[in-house]
């Protein structure tokens, strides 16, 4: 049974955690690897270098939207392909465990599960623009 008193706070905490993680990953690409370096890495994987800039934009805007609660349920679903791409190109070939060289796919897969759970449970407390689906 879902506790209606605490569930909105749980969704809020999940929303913040997911948003902060996306901002952290954006920050890593932007401040540590630099946008040009990230584009070069994407190209080394056989991907278009420009996809790096799109990925960084999605991570940044998506992270902010999650934290603020702006259509966060929809944003959570939109962010899943970014993680699937990370699994397909980098983490999948490294094996399951994230401690493997190049990090396995265990963490990105769990992150996807978190996004799905969040999208199903709802925007949570303090969302600035809650997602409204017509029934």
- HSE-CB at 37 with a 13 A cutoff on CA atoms is 9
More confident residue, 2 or 43: 43
Query: In the numeric block, which tokens belong to residue 80?
Result: 């899943």
3-state secondary structure of 96: coil
Task: Taking the CA atoms of 113, 117, 123 and 124 in sequence, report the sign of the dihedral they define.
Answer: negative
Q: Compute and round to an integer the Cα radius of gyration of the chain.
A: 16
Q: Taking the CB of residue 38, how many other CB atoms lie within 10 A of it?
A: 21
pTM of the shown model:
0.93
Q: Taking the CB of residue 9, how many other CB atoms lie within 10 A of it?
A: 13
Residue 135 is predicted with a pLDDT of 64
Percentage of the chain surpassing pLDDT 90?
92
- Domains of the chain, by residue range, sit at 7-121
Unique residue bearing structure tokens 């599960």: 113
Quick one: DSSP state of residue 9?
H
More confident residue, 134 or 106: 106
What are the pLDDT digits (tens) for 107-125?
A: 999 999 999 999 999 999 9
What are the pLDDT digits (tens) for 38-80?
A: 999 999 999 999 999 999 999 999 999 999 999 999 999 999 9
Query: In the numeric block, which tokens belong to residue 45?
Result: 């994987």
């Amino acid at each position: 049974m879902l506790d209606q008193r605490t569930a909105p706070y749980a969704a809020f905490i999940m929303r913040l955690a997911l948003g902060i993680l996306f901002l952290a990953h954006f920050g890593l690409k932007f401040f540590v690897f630099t946008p040009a370096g990230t584009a070069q890495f994407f190209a080394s994987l056989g991907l278009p270098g420009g996809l790096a800039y799109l990925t960084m934009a999605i991570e940044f805007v998506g992270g902010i939207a999650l934290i603020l609660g702006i259509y966060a349920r929809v944003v959570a679903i939109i962010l899943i392909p970014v993680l699937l791409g990370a699994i397909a190109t980098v983490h999948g070939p490294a094996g399951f465990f994230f401690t493997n060289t190049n990090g396995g796919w265990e963490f990105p897969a769990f992150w996807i599960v978190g996004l799905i759970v969040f999208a199903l449970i709802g925007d949570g407390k303090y969302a600035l623009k809650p997602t409204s689906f017509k029934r």
